[in-house]
Structure formats: C-alpha cells, structure tokens
Structure 1
C-alpha cells in the first residue's frame, strides 16, 4: 500500500503500473491550481505565479489540495510548478529560503493528504458530494520548464534561443529537482515540457543517481501534432522511453480536442502508462498574462472526451489550467463507471 500516515514517500511505490493495479486500472490527477487560488482571492500577477502562495497564503494551497482530494483525485501535485531557487532569489529571498519554499510545497501537499485520510476514517460515505474514500494517494512534486521560470510565455513556445544548451538546463534544474525529490513526494511531475532539449535534460538528471524517486514526463502541444516547439512528439516520448526512472508519459496544458490524436502517436513509441491532463481549451495571452475568456469548453464537454481518451490508451486523467474540482469530480465519476465495467486485472 502507498504510505498513508506520514510525509515520507510511499515506500512501496515502485512503478506507476503497480499503483494503477491498486486503483483499478485508472487514476485521477488533480486539476488547475493557479486558477483555483485566484478563485479564492489570491493575486498571482507575479513572476512566481502560483508559487507566490507559498509565501503569502500556504493555508490556501492546503485548502485547494483538499478540494481536489474530496473531488476524487488520486494524485495531487505540489504548488511548485513555477517555484525555482533562481526565481525566489530574484524576489530577494536567500538560496536557503528558496530551498525551504520548495520543501514546503511538498509538505503542504502531504499534510493535505493526511487531512483527507483522517476525514476518511471519520466516515466512509460521500458527504455533501465530497468523495471520502480511503485509497492510495500519490503526492507529485511539480517541476515546470525553464520557460515557466522566465515568466514570458516561452513554455508555450519552447523557443529558448541558441545560448540555452543541454548543460544550461541541467544546471538550472539540478538542485531544485534534488530538493523536491528529498521533500517527501512519491513522484516528480515534469510538466509542460516544450521541447526535446529539456526532456533530455530531465532524463539525464534522473539518471545521475541523486534523485531517488521516479518521475513522469508531460509535454504540451498547440497543434495536436508536435510539441509546442515543433519537435516531434514521438521523438520526445522516445527520450522518456530510454529512462527507467520515467514511469509514465503524456500530455498536459493542451486543448482537449488535440489529446486523442497525440495519445495515439505516443502509444506507438512507449510501453509506459499514458497520462493526460489538458487545459480547458482556452487561449492564454502571454503579453497580458491572462486567459482569454470564452475560448474553451465547459466541464460537460471536457468530460465527454474522457471515454475516447481511455479507449486510446490513457490510464491517468486530470486537468490543467482553468479546470476545477468540479471537472475532477466529473472525471472521477466517469472512471468509477469505467472501473466497474472493466474486467479485473
């Protein structure tokens, strides 16, 4: 069983395939964090973006994690997507304080898991549409791309310029990844990877030996064919396939309409479990740093894709930007139906 009583990593978590056996073949990933923080009143107009809440309102992070668990999420991601040592230093924090903030992001997620499991002991029934069911829950330490640190929208282009090399990226991410890996998470979520170069950097960091927990690789696309930089999705997945510590691969922060086609391509080059957590389909204006209203799909339309994604080979599903606990609850309900109608493994 996954460790349910402490902030230590799940000692028995060796592979995503083992975890999926415990969850009935499918698992639910949480949804968007930043937009939920904003819904609760946080002002994230800051280079730290969602990581600003680690400084100003950690209680809010705990609340949102708990909302997602009560909506049925089996995996919650720490509020560290845009949290980097360099980013904290740029805001005037010491290196030690920056590393402390990284640890704190994972600790808050672990505490939310503990809070949720304590609630499950009090009642095993759904309460006011809250899903209170004791089950294996993973805490994923979120690692955003170098482009996310730049806070200029380049994680949506993958264009970093010729001066950014493989070694530059490894040096940028190395200490951050080490700190997060030692903070009590079960897995590292390398998210919104925009190009092959950064995927290679992450794979080599995992292979260096200092990182003792596994990771997943999740890429983003804006055309449904390639990752956002124009690199081939199959070539990007092939990099992950060569790294034993990568235990799942997939797509995030991509419009729902593109997911099925991308998954079918991914399936051609990997034997690893496939995950998807699309955004709501809305467009992001990098200059104005805001989402363009009324360009996406509602929860009902979003969830209408779920069966197609699972038929295509997806086993881990959630949401990214602009998705909510309501979205995740709807996905959970679809997966409950799917589990109950699937033959036991």
Structure 2
C-alpha cells in the first residue's frame, strides 16, 4: 500500500483535519479535567483514544493528530507517574493513532489518513491557560530543552509529520523549528498559532510577520491558526494569505464559549455552524480545515462534505 504524503493530499484539493480529542473522550466516560487533560486517557482508557481516532477517520478526516498535545515527561512526573512509564505512554499515543490509521486502511483497502505528532507549547505544560496569553518567556535553549525529549519519543515512534499547535509565542516556535530542522532535517511539520485577534499572536507579534518567518523555514508543510473562535478564521486567513504562499491550516473551536470562572462551556448562536463558515474559509485560501476544542466527528463530517 503506497505511503501518502501531505503533498499528495493537497494536490487532490483541500484536506480535512480531525477534531477535538478531550470532548470525545469525555463522551466515552474519560475524565479530562486535570493538568494532564486528554493525556489522562493513556493511563486507563487507551481503547477510548482508538475509538476517537476511528470516529474521525469515518467522518472523513485525512489528518489525525496524536494525543500528545499536553503529554510530556515533566507533566506526567508532576502527576506522580515515573519517567519510564511516561515515555512509554507518549510513544503509545503515537502507536494508537498509527494502528487506527492502519486498521482503517485494511478495512477500506486504501490509506485514508496520515498521523501528525501533536506538540503543544510550554504554556500547555503550565496548565494555567497561558497558551492563550503567551505570558511566559524562556531562552531558546530552555525551550529546546523542554521540547526535546517529547520530540525524540514521538519521532522514534514514527509519525508522518509534526503539528506545532496553539503556539502563542514566535520565539518558542523559532526555537522549536531550529531544533526540528537541525535534528531531523527531512521532517515535515506545520505551525499553528494561538492568536489574540486575527492580526496578532498572543505575545503581540503580528500574525503576518510570524507567518512570513515560518514560510521561509525548511520542510514547513503549512502555517495557520487554531483554538480560536469561528469568526476569527476568515480575517486571519486574509492576513495569512497576504503574507505567504505556504498552505494555510485552520482549526477553530466549535463556537462554544469558555467561562474561566466556572470552567464550563456555553453554547452560542454560532456553535457548530461549520456549514456557514467553511465555504468562506475555502474562498479565503484555506488548504487544511479541521476543528479544535469542543468540535465533534459530526463537525468534521460537515467539513468533509463541504470540501
């Protein structure tokens, strides 16, 4: 069975990314309201992770992200899990995604999906919401020291590409990209920023300047934004498309709004209205579209149907 590349998928038209992991795990009875978030499932409910990946493949997703966004050895150790087990769990998350992809390929007679190794920012490890503020600062060497072990584990487990996700700071992305391109010089990756508004990263960097920097780096597969509200996507795409010709990736939240005081989500008039927005995103230049927090296989199926 021929191995897919992202170029193959993009050559056939816009590509469908998967949606939220934690939301679907909660539906399957997995508690995710801890500092480990959806990574908690790897301890006791790996079969639930498999089921979520399969549900997105069945909905039409062509790209699956591993359940490693908030999974790193330091976070597991902080939760009382020994480093050797933590390393095993991180690699297990990659294996689960690959096994789901391969089982799907066997069932339908062709490979429909690729696996992207999810790398969340240092702010996700802090588990205080700072991936949405960028309110932290490390040196380039410190960023690389933080990210290196998880990257090594994910790369050793074997992913098709890397997903640098919900990145609120350009300096962290610069350190990460330097680490990736010098250690694994052939490895493709995408960069998706966390934004304050459609023109600005959370750390205050202009989105256009950040995208231009990313576009000049080797092996970059796409650049874009994620984990923001639906209404921010079209203007962000206009900012991005004016700045770069690299494929653009967007995966917003469902449209529900998060209340940090009660730590709950509230539905809005825009919740899950992908049928309204996706045609506008395609017209604005989106090449890869998926979902982030609170999105479901039904949302991904809507995206796939529209594409």
Q: TM-score, normalised by structure 1?
A: 0.84
CA contact (8 A) 1:2 1:138 kept: no
Quote the RMSD (CA, aligned, Å). 1.7
**Equivalent of residue 43 in structure 1, options 27, 31, 36:** 31
Shifted more, 137-146 versus 209-218: the winner is: 209-218
Question: Take 1:280 and 1:57, find their aligned partners in 2: how far apart are those partners?
Answer: 25
CA contact (8 A) 1:267 1:313 kept: yes
SS of the aligned residue for 2:104 comes to: helix
1:176 matched to 2:166: no
The unaligned stretches of length 5 or more in structure 1 are 4-9, 122-133, 336-345
* Residue pairs, 1:293-312, within 5 angstroms: 293-295=266-268, 297-299=270-272, 301-312=273-284
Question: Take 1:193 and 1:36, find their aligned partners in 2: how far apart are those partners?
Answer: 23
1:202-229 Cα offsets, whole Å, 9 max, x none, are: 2111222246521100012242221222
For these two proteins, the number of residue pairs brought into alignment is 307
1:34-84 Cα offsets, whole Å, 9 max, x none, are: 111111111112111000101110000000000000000001111101001
Shifted more, 204-213 versus 81-90: the winner is: 204-213
1:153 matched to 2:143: no
* Residue pairs, 1:110-125, within 5 angstroms: 110-121=98-109
Q: Aligned residue for 1:263?
A: 237
Change (3 A) 1:60 1:197: same
Q: Aligned residue for 1:19?
A: 9
Q: Aligned residue for 2:54?
A: 66
The unaligned stretches of length 5 or more in structure 2 are none
* Residue pairs, 1:50-89, within 5 angstroms: 50-89=38-77
CA contact (8 A) 2:274 2:303 kept: no
Q: Aligned residue for 2:203?
A: 229
Quote how far apart the aligned CAs of 1:175 are: 1.6
CA contact (8 A) 1:147 1:160 kept: yes
Quote how far apart the aligned CAs of 1:118 are: 2.4
Quote how far apart the aligned CAs of 1:291 are: 3.6
